[in-house]
Amino acid sequence: MLKNFSGKGEQTVLESISYTSDYEFSNGCRAPPWRQIHGEICYVLVKPHDVETLCITCSAEGVFLNGGKTDNEGEINYERKGEIYKDLVTFLKEKSAKFSENMSKQEKRFSDKKEKKEPTNEPPEKEEAAPVQKAITGSGKRTLEKNQINFGKSQMTKRLEPSLRWKATVRFKEYRSLLRDPQEEKHRRRPERSGPPVKPGRAQLVRKSTEKIEEIVSESSSESEEDEEPLDRQEANADLPSEYWQIQKLVKYLKGGNQTATVIALCSMKDFNLAQETCQLAIRDVGGLEVLINLLDTDEVKCKIGSLKILKEISHNPQIRRNIVDLGGLPVMVNTLDSPHKSLKCLAAETIANVAKFRRARQAVRRYGGITKLVALLHCGKSSAELAQSSLYDARDVEVARCGALALWSCSKSYTNKEAIRKAGGIPLLARLLKTSHENMLIPVVGTLQECASEENYRAAIKAERIIENLVKNLNSENEQLQEHCAMAIYQCAEDKETRDLVRLHGGLKRLASLLDNTDNKERLAAVTGAIWKCSISKENVTKFREYKAIETLVGLLTDQPEEVLVNVVGALGECCQDYENRVLVRKCGGIPPLVNLLVGVNQALLVNVTKAVGACAVEPESMMIIDRLDGVRLLWSLLKNPHPEVKASAAWALCPCIQNTKDAGEMVRSFVGGLELVVNLLKSDNKEVLASVCAAITNIAKDQENLAVITDRGVVPLLSKLANTNNDKLRRHLAEAISHCCMWGRNRVAFGEYKAVAPLVHYLKSDDPNVHRATAQALYQLSEDADNCVTIHENGAVKRRKMENLFENCHLCQRKVETHLRCVARSARDGSGSAAGVMPHGLHRWKCSVCTVTRRGSKDASSQ
Amino acid sequence: MNRKKLQKLTDTLTKNCKHFNKFEVQCLINLFYNMVGDVTERQGMVTGLDRNAFRNILHMTFGMTDDMIMDRVFRGFDKDNDGCVNVSEWISGLSVFLRGTLEEKMKYCFEVFDLNGDGFISKEEMFHMLKNSLLKQPSEEDPDEGIKDLVEITLKKMDHDHDGKLSFSDYEQAVREETLLLEAFGPCLPDPKSEMEFEAQVFKDPNEFNDI
């Protein structure tokens, strides 16, 4: 405000000026709410040059000296000590001679430079200065104060209009901050200007004072805003809902009453519609939150109960939650959990459950030891659950445990809290609570488990505590929410094979399948289909699902469902279609067209699953015909351009069976303009899965000579060779296959040798994966037709001969292997480099390969070639 | 007092009292006679705690401070209105005081709050009871304004038939909706902490009396 023209300098009017409090309420006032009702806006400490520091109250009536600020408590004595002045400037003029003198100087300068000032306005300031100018031009020769007030008024009316609508507080704030911004910009710019005053030349002085007055105007405008505000506020008051005033009154009684009055006020406050935002914000705006939280620190059980009952309700509001955390409400609530009163524990836990909906709050709960205490609440339910059987249980104990679970559910959304719950021994307790039959209890318990099941540790513990059994049992409940959370928990856990088996053993699959029939509750449907998806990773489960006619239902769900459901449905179908019967079933139910239609979507997870499902279907030639007819291959191919590597890989995998099972595959592949180039370029990816899938696709593409020629032209050989140095077995296998197929064209064999792909390939034989061996053997066989490659193979192979022998022990004789090496030996002998020539044939009798049974078809090919 | 009489007294009182067992009644009787002092029973003289002694107990043991409420609690105990609480009034009073069901407590509290005993809690009675419940703020012109307002708030909340006073059924309904309103006009029941302390102190050492 006036701050900027205070300081030690001669030209300044004041030594210092500051607010007593930095906190500004949302209505722009700085006075505490209980003073605001007296029309007071803020308190200012002013130090003029000649008089002592003055503590001034700015209120609706005007400006007056108050009782001063006591140093030790920082409290202001609000009593009026002096006359009321119409504004701060008048007040100061009266109190300080120096101020008045300097002020008149400023004034003079202002009127002098007024003309100049307008053009000197910098463009960015124009907006902010516009009302000033208006006020100035409008007022002509009027005094500075008048200008200020005018300015203040024009801006204030503009500014305070939105505040008439309390319901729109949020919008109002935004609006305010918008208005504030230009001013802040000015504040930031100020330091540059107020450099040490060099001996001012005339022009400089002029400029400086102009700037200064500019600031006086803009700054004191805010000052007069303070003066004007109450007037507007009073008008605004009429528009505030009556609840606001009633709540304000009640908060006053809360503050000033003994426990009897407090309880009455709390009960009365509870009768307001606390679900309504007006009331929630009113409680906050009149300083009720502080009082309510303070009450929790007292010994009065009744006051605490009453306070928590209100906090519980209003904490549904996200803004209030944040305020509660800011005011330090969580530590007291966490402490309240220790209370011997069950109802208090319940309320505290329930309130925490509401408040801990955002990260900082969850963190705070943990930091104050809340997790351990909440877990301890579950103990209550434990004993009561046992008592329940002897029909002696106390409903309140169950309630305590329920509230505890509710709070844990909220807290369990963050990773560290999940860990904390586990460490506090929460899992066995949750498992025990899961055995009760109270639906209210089960929902938060299952909810917590479902949240936590995202962690590996929990999944192991869930298995160990035999929780799955109870989850399956609760799946049979009538409560849709409970079903949803159970299904969700199964979905999370069923990544694990044993869990999938458990779900089947406890008869959960049938229930899951039957839950598919009700499609109204989309969230539950998503959870159920998710559980089915994960469960169907096990073959046995798929068989069961077929028995329960789930496949047909799933196909029916392929249309008109939200994406969350579709992802799971398609995922489940993708798993199911690994079975021949199911592929036929899906085709017969007309599942292929909707699947192919989904290929045009944008959801990444969905695309991954759809491509997988389509790929699974394409294994069936008959289904492939349908896919081809629907142009599915082209759609798959275009997904290779998808930015997500997972989608790319999945699409490339899906293309493999498509190419295999189409009659004129070569012709079809060629018909995709730029398609082959796209595939070859994908070899530049750095994602292993993409590379492996593309290699597999290339293997299939290369079966067609013409296409092989095209991809060779596109530089497939150097790209493949570059990939050869890898440790990834999946990539090795598909890479070796791709290389062996690419050898069939032109001088590719030689080229692979030139690009140094051969030596790394030989080393693949050290891998433990028989599939890698098979593919590598095939590739080496192809490569060995070139003499130079033979030498390389031999050199690398001879060194590792012993190892290789060991590797292939206990296996059937591998034709391919033998041929390769015979060739190698022959050539190297011919080339004169066969140092091991005598050794090899001897060793050959023991060259055995673990995969020759698998390669049988390949061997036939080889012998025919 | 001889042993036989004491035994007989214990038996009768235990029969009439549903919240204490025989041992607890015995303890309370002992406590009572300890406090009354070993007054030998004289014909025509009432043995018991007079108003001051009783108020002293309420204050020291149960932490009550409001004189008026304490007077009312005394009257609540002193069923026969003879100015002192005798042993059977002591036992039956404490039975509600410490262990009463919600119904019993409501009845008891209502009697306490119904200052003139006309079956209604009037505005004036409320005002009287809430008089000291708010901090006086020097700035306020009318210091009673807050109290009056508080009475209005209470009436609005509890007076279901809108006759400007609380009948027992008004009160009962309000308390059933919100148990916190049981002691709406001042604490007239022990707070849980002192209740537990009292019970722990009085009912300790069971072996001593087991044979009686």
Report the chain B residue with the minimal C-alpha distance to residue A341.
B192
Q: Which residues of A touch B (CB under 8 A)?
A: 249-250, 252-253, 256-261, 263-268, 270-271, 299, 301-302, 305-306, 340-341
Residues of chain A contacting B150 with CB distance shorter than 8 Å:
253, 257, 261, 264-265
Could you name the CATH architecture of B104-181?
Orthogonal Bundle (1.10)
User: What pLDDT, on a 0 to 100 scale, did the predictor assign at position A49?
Assistant: 61
B137 touches chain A (CB under 8 A): yes
Residues of chain A contacting B191 with CB distance shorter than 8 Å:
301
pLDDT at B73 over 70: yes
In order, the DSSP letters of A421-471 are: HHHTTHHHHHHHHTTS--HHHHHHHHHHHHHHTTSHHHHHHHHHTTHHHHH
Report the chain B residue with the minimal C-alpha distance to residue A250.
B150
Query: Which residues of chain A fall below pLDDT 50?
Result: 1-11, 70-71, 73, 108, 110-236, 382, 384-392, 798-799, 802-815, 829-865
User: What pLDDT, on a 0 to 100 scale, did the predictor assign at position A480?
Assistant: 82
Cβ–Cβ under 8 Å, residues A469 and A501: no
Helix ranges, A142-258 (H) = 144-160, 169-193, 202-239, 242-256
User: What pLDDT, on a 0 to 100 scale, did the predictor assign at position A704?
Assistant: 83
Q: How far apart are the first and last CA of chain A?
A: 93
Residues of chain B contacting A301 with CB distance shorter than 8 Å:
191-192
**Contact call for A266 and B180, based on CB within 8 A:** yes
B173 touches chain A (CB under 8 A): no
Residues of chain B contacting A252 with CB distance shorter than 8 Å:
146
- Tell me: ipTM over 0.90: no
B130 touches chain A (CB under 8 A): yes
pLDDT at B211 over 60: no
The 10s digit of each residue's pLDDT in A394-427 is: 677 788 888 888 899 988 888 888 888 888 888 8
* From A252, A258, A302, residue closest to B133, measured CB to CB: A258
* From A261, A268, A301, residue closest to B134, measured CB to CB: A261
- Is-same-fold flag (B7-36+48-99+191-203; B104-181)? yes
User: What pLDDT, on a 0 to 100 scale, did the predictor assign at position A351?
Assistant: 92
Give the integer Cα–Cα distance in Å for A581 and A617.
11
Report the chain B residue with the minimal C-alpha distance to residue A304.
B180
> Strand, helix or coil at B20?
coil
Compute the average pLDDT of residues B46-75.
83
Q: Determine what percent of chain B is predicted with pLDDT higher than 90.
A: 0
User: What pLDDT, on a 0 to 100 scale, did the predictor assign at position A578?
Assistant: 84
Report the chain A residue with the minimal C-alpha distance to residue B177.
A267
The minimum CA-CA distance between A284 and chain B, rounded to whole Å, is: 21
User: What pLDDT, on a 0 to 100 scale, did the predictor assign at position A764?
Assistant: 80
The minimum CA-CA distance between B81 and chain A, rounded to whole Å, is: 28
Interface test with B, best of A264, A269, A345 (most B CBs within 10 A): A264
Interface test with B, best of A260, A271, A304 (most B CBs within 10 A): A260
User: What pLDDT, on a 0 to 100 scale, did the predictor assign at position B19?
Assistant: 83
Give the integer Cα–Cα distance in Å for A107 and A758.
91
Assigned token pair, A639: 């997904």
Residues of chain A contacting B134 with CB distance shorter than 8 Å:
253, 256-258, 261
Residues of chain B contacting A80 with CB distance shorter than 8 Å:
none
Compute the average pLDDT of residues B36-52.
65
**B11 phi and psi angles, rounded to 5 deg:** -60, -45
Residues of chain B contacting A340 with CB distance shorter than 8 Å:
192
* From A252, A260, A267, residue closest to B133, measured CB to CB: A260
The 10s digit of each residue's pLDDT in A620-675 is: 888 888 888 888 888 888 888 888 888 888 888 888 888 888 877 788 888 877 78
**A653 phi and psi angles, rounded to 5 deg:** -60, -45
**B85 phi and psi angles, rounded to 5 deg:** -90, 115
Residues of chain B contacting A257 with CB distance shorter than 8 Å:
133-135, 150
**Contact call for B157 and A305, based on CB within 8 A:** no
Is 1.10.238.10 the CATH number for B7-36+48-99+191-203?
Answer: yes
The minimum CA-CA distance between B90 and chain A, rounded to whole Å, is: 26
Contacts of range A538-542, beta carbons closer than 8 Å, 24 or more positions apart: A538/A497, A538/A500, A538/A501, A538/A504, A539/A578, A539/A579, A540/A501, A540/A504, A541/A500, A541/A503, A541/A504, A541/A509, A542/A575, A542/A576, A542/A578, A542/A579, A542/A582
**Contact call for A261 and B183, based on CB within 8 A:** no
User: What pLDDT, on a 0 to 100 scale, did the predictor assign at position A307?
Assistant: 92
Q: Domain residue spans in chain B?
A: 7-36+48-99+191-203, 104-181
Helix ranges, A316-438 (H) = 318-326, 329-336, 342-355, 359-367, 370-389, 395-411, 415-423, 426-433
Cβ–Cβ under 8 Å, residues A607 and A599: yes
Q: Is the dihedral of CA A140, A142, A147, A149 positive or negative?
A: negative
**Chain pair A-B, CB pairs under 8 angstroms:** 64
**Contact call for B192 and A263, based on CB within 8 A:** no
State how far Cα A364 lies from the chain centre. Answer: 19
B102 touches chain A (CB under 8 A): no
pLDDT band at B140; cut points 50, 70, 90:
low
Residue A155 CA: distances (Å) to CA of A1, A160, A229, B61: 15, 8, 11, 64
* From A249, A259, A267, residue closest to B181, measured CB to CB: A267
Compute the average pLDDT of residues B53-60.
86
Give the integer Cα–Cα distance in Å for A700 and A87.
88
